[in-house]
Amino acid sequence: MVPRVIAIDGPAGSGKSTVSRAVAERLGLEYLDTGAMYRGVAFAVLERGIDPGDTNAVAELARLIPLEVTGSVCVVDGVDATVAIRGPQVTVAVSTVAANPEVRAEMVTRQRAWVIERGGGVVEGRDIGSVVFPDAELKIYLTASPEVRADRRASETQGADTGAVAADIRRRDDADSTREASPLVEAAGAVVVDTSGLTVDQAADVIEEMLG
């Protein structure tokens, strides 16, 4: 049987994680946050004192590191890194790590294996519809206005300054969209859903309706 895959891509703060989780629950599928995988590799890189720009050392670590992402929990080489992967150091380093083509090749292999093991899933990231699962049953490109995205990210972090969060989002949008290896793009055949004025449930409704 062909695994049932729903691919959800989009920039930071577009609502990918919350909406993907809601869609997965409705469909009775598991959910994979591929951004957490790249963050897990970045965490391991920093823990070991490796320079994120050292392409070969980072690629080698990515191939070897045991990484388990289950729901919102991320375990890196037996260490629960769920909180640390959302911290500022990892958030800065992850753009460089995710731009490394060998790291991407390894993560794509792991993501495909994850789906095969489970017979499908809701997979969210930046290149899921374009590279990882171009034949997904449904490909969604989630987006939202820059103001809404910055507000959402700021509200997730206590004491965060919205201006600084907006600047960080712009930096990452730019890095994710302009990198050579699998940049963030609207995949061919993807349906664009703007979540600016939508609640999580409303966005999940829109996606569920597309599945018929």
We find the least distance from the C-beta atom of residue 3 to ligand DC, in angstroms, to be 18
Residue closer to ligand DC by CB (options 85, 198) is 85
Residues that bind ligand DC (CB under 6 A): 12, 34-35, 38-39, 94-95, 98, 125-128, 172, 176
User: Distance (Å, rounded) from C-alpha 38 to C-alpha 96?
Assistant: 10
We find the least distance from the C-beta atom of residue 179 to ligand DC, in angstroms, to be 8
User: Distance (Å, rounded) from C-alpha 75 to C-alpha 81?
Assistant: 6
Residue closer to ligand DC by CB (options 126, 152) is 126
We find the least distance from the C-beta atom of residue 212 to ligand DC, in angstroms, to be 26
- Is residue 170 helix, strand or coil? helix
Sequence letter at residue 50? I
Q: Is 146 exposed, middle or buried (0-12, 13-18, 19+ CB in 10 A)?
A: middle
We find the least distance from the C-beta atom of residue 106 to ligand DC, in angstroms, to be 12
Sequence letter at residue 59? A
DSSP 19-74: HHHHHHHHHT--EEEHHHHHHHHHHHHHHTT--TT-HHHHHHHHHH--EEEETTEE
Residue closer to ligand DC by CB (options 38, 43) is 38
Closest CA to 115 of 23, 188, 7, 13: 7
Residue closer to ligand DC by CB (options 1, 6) is 6
We find the least distance from the C-beta atom of residue 85 to ligand DC, in angstroms, to be 8
Residue closer to ligand DC by CB (options 31, 38) is 38
